[in-house]
Amino acid sequence: AKHFKLLVVGGGAGGLGAASKFARKLPNGSVGIIEPRVDHYYQPGFTLVGGGLMTLDANKRKQEDLIPRGATWIQDKVELFNPTQNTVKTKGGEEITYDFMVIAMGVQLRYDMIKGAKEALETPGVCSNYSPFYVEKHYKEAMNFKGGNAVYTFPNTPIKCAGAPQKACYITDSILRQRGVRDKAHMIYATSLKRLFGIESYLKSLEKVAREKGIDVRTRRNLIEVDSNNRMATFELLDEDAKPTGGIEKIEYSLLHIGPPCSTPKALRTSEFVDKNGFMDVDVGSLQSKNFSNVFGVGDCMNTPNAKTAAAVSSHLKTIERNLWQVMQGKTPCMQYDGYASCPLVVSTNRVILAEFNSQGAMETTPFDQSKPTYWAYLMKRYFMPALYWNGLIKGYWNGPATIRNCSRLVKSK
Ligand code: FAD
Ligand code: UQ1
């Protein structure tokens, strides 16, 4: 059986970042990464691909080219965790043992949780920026749109980059205006949530954006069925606690953009690492598994209350770099994750609200008011963030903007 001092499960944003950091600290061959995929995508770029502002290809790299030097890639997936024995079993039937483990399996897109959605995604009019298979279709649909309802949905589960369904809607509004067909469209944003966004200062700006664009925002609606033969989307109505009221709403669509329900991958969901909602149960500060002290989490698969974003991963990495290292030395972890996340809200083809926050409120990096849509924030999203991801985050060099934020605070006038 293979053995690694540190086994990293998942080679996405968090897994690569964690493996990079520890491959530099530990002797050659100490770090193993289990990741089944051949292609690695920069997912934050999908919003731009769906808006025709970037190609899908520009957001793709070969996974093998991203594996850090000194680390071993096992191209397979974990099927079973056995944490009391410090082993995992892969789909390929291998048993791999470890001293320490980082779980960075992200979330899975669960189109299967919406009746008819998988089939509908293969039919005209239905698309989704979340998947590399259906993201380019979104731009095609926006360019071919002739009239009727354009419907954008947000699921009744946790979802990565919770702003992304809105971004898709706003960019399409811009495209339809540029094409001179906006007056033929009824644009609907149907969300399971009570409001557009959870953070007060950005909520106001987004409500203004939606109002000015004439988007019909419908809250507490969860997409449960797509009937592609009749081009009909069925929603269940939700109450205050996001439970179904029994009420139903049907909306006919010309264009339907699905924000998919998300869950953790099955191997994690059915393991001893998760809470009752199926997310990895970690200490919100140290990011250490509550049940197994030699295991840490990074990224979207955890049950921490932050927004699930690559930006949050940067701060997770900073935290586990310290904490996992301390645990490796037989000490107790002392660093606390600050809850940071960021979601650059693309509100048109050239404006972005650079939202940065934790569950308490805004945590902005620059001395400027980031709740206003600006062109410079768009340039950051389009050109700076991809470079920061490829050269900084997944290489384990980018620890998030906390230091820059502290400098900005010095020059900020109240
Ligand atoms: P991922 O990067 O998704 O990686 C998880 C990896 O685990 C995958 O490669 C998967 O193959 C692997 N895996 C799964 N199951 C197994 C298994 N059983 N065994 C082994 N490996 C497994 N973030 C931002 O910061 N800003 C944005 O603007 C932004 N926009 C987004 C827009 C869209 C449309 C989407 C989809 C995401 C966006 N994000 C954004 C979110 C960002 O992409 C994620 O938060 C980030 O990738 C999380 O990293 P992760 O490592 O937790 O998960
Ligand atoms: C970020 O760190 C990050 O990860 C690399 C993103 O994902 C692509 C982001 O979208 C953002 C906004 C950040 C935060 C960084 C700065 C400089 C504000």
Which residue out of 127, 161, 169, 301 is catalytically annotated? 161
Which residue has the CA at smallest separation from atom 14 of ligand 2? 311
Task: Decide if 359 is inside a domain.
Answer: no
Instruction: Tell which of 262, 286, 307 closes a domain.
Output: 262
- The DSSP string of 245-296 is EEEEEEEE-SEEE----EE--HHHHTSTTB-TTSSB-B-TTT-BBSS-TTEE
ipTM metric:
0.98
Which of 298, 314, 345, 376 for a ligand 2 pocket mutation test, highest count of atoms within 8 Å of Cβ?
314
**Rounded distance, CA 300 to CA 108, Å?**
10
Instruction: Tell me 383's DSSP state.
Output: I
144 and 35 housed in the same domain: no
Give 227-250 pLDDT, tens digit per residue. Answer: 999 999 999 999 999 999 999 999
Q: Do the beta carbons of residue 160 and residue 107 sit within 8 Å?
A: yes
Q: Please determine, for residue 405, whether its predicted confidence score (pLDDT) is greater than 90.
A: yes
Q: Please determine, for residue 146, whether its predicted confidence score (pLDDT) is greater than 90.
A: yes
Number of folded domains that form the chain: 2
Q: Does ligand 1 come within 6 angstroms of the Cβ of 9?
A: yes
Give 36-66 pLDDT, tens digit per residue. Answer: 999 999 999 999 999 999 999 999 999 999 9
343 is catalytic: yes
Percentage with pLDDT > 90 across the chain: 98
What's the gap between Cα 246 and its chain centre? 30
- The DSSP string of 384-398 is IHHHIIIIIITTT--
Which residues lie across from 236 on neighbouring strands?
Answer: 222, 248
Q: What was the pLDDT predicted at 77?
A: 98
Q: Do the beta carbons of residue 304 and residue 287 sit within 8 Å?
A: yes
Task: Decide if 399 is inside a domain.
Answer: no
117 and 232 housed in the same domain: yes
Q: Please determine, for residue 125, whether its predicted confidence score (pLDDT) is greater than 70.
A: yes
Please, what is the average pLDDT of the chain?
97
**Rounded distance, CA 278 to CA 273, Å?**
9
> What pTM does this model have?
0.98
Give 367-391 pLDDT, tens digit per residue. Answer: 999 999 999 999 999 999 999 999 9
Residue with tokens 């308490």: 360
116: tokens are 């008819």
Average pLDDT over residues 88-115: 98
Q: Do the beta carbons of residue 297 and residue 312 sit within 8 Å?
A: no
Give every CB contact of residue 276 below 8 A, 6+ residues apart in sequence. none
Instruction: Tell which of 292, 317, 334 closes a domain.
Output: 334
Q: Please determine, for residue 219, whether its predicted confidence score (pLDDT) is greater than 70.
A: yes
Q: What was the pLDDT predicted at 414?
A: 57
35 and 98 housed in the same domain: yes
Average pLDDT over residues 352-381: 97
> Residue 292's domain is classified under what CATH number?
3.50.50.60
255 and 285 housed in the same domain: no
Average pLDDT over residues 327-332: 98
Burial of residue 52, with CB atoms counted within 10 A of its CB: 0-12 exposed, 13-18 middle, 19 or more buried:
middle
**Rounded distance, CA 203 to CA 220, Å?**
16
Ligand nearest to the CA of 37: 1
**Rounded distance, CA 153 to CA 411, Å?**
40
116 and 247 housed in the same domain: yes
User: What is the signed CA dihedral for 407, 318, 340, 301, rounded to 10 degrees?
Assistant: 170
Give 111-121 pLDDT, tens digit per residue. Answer: 999 999 999 99
116 and 206 housed in the same domain: yes
Q: Please determine, for residue 26, whether its predicted confidence score (pLDDT) is greater than 60.
A: yes
Give 189-218 pLDDT, tens digit per residue. Answer: 999 999 999 999 899 999 999 999 999 999
Which residues lie across from 217 on neighbouring strands?
Answer: 189
Q: Does ligand 1 come within 6 angstroms of the Cβ of 313?
A: yes
CA-to-CA dists, residue 303 to 95, 236, 280, angstroms:
27, 26, 6
Q: Please determine, for residue 18, whether its predicted confidence score (pLDDT) is greater than 70.
A: yes
Domain interval for residue 6: 2-107+264-334
User: Which pLDDT band holds residue 411 (cuts at 50, 70, 90)?
Assistant: confident
Report which ligand 2 atom has the smallest distance to the Cα of 386: 8
150 and 272 housed in the same domain: no
98 and 121 housed in the same domain: no
What separation in Å is there between the alpha carbon of 248 and the centre of ligand 2? 38
Rg of the chain on CA atoms, in Å? 21
Average pLDDT over residues 24-29: 98
Give 283-304 pLDDT, tens digit per residue. Answer: 999 999 999 999 999 999 999 9
SS3 state of residue 403: helix
What separation in Å is there between the alpha carbon of 213 and the centre of ligand 1? 30
Q: Please determine, for residue 413, whether its predicted confidence score (pLDDT) is greater than 70.
A: no
Which residue has the CA at smallest separation from atom 3 of ligand 2? 311
SS3 state of residue 251: strand
Q: What was the pLDDT predicted at 1?
A: 82
Q: Please determine, for residue 94, whether its predicted confidence score (pLDDT) is greater than 70.
A: yes
Q: Does ligand 1 come within 6 angstroms of the Cβ of 257?
A: no
Give 160-193 pLDDT, tens digit per residue. Answer: 999 999 999 999 999 999 999 999 999 999 999 9
Instruction: Tell which of 278, 301, 334 closes a domain.
Output: 334
103 and 115 housed in the same domain: no
Which residue has the CA at smallest separation from atom 51 of ligand 1? 14
Q: Do the beta carbons of residue 222 and residue 238 sit within 8 Å?
A: yes
Report which ligand 2 atom has the smallest distance to the Cα of 354: 12
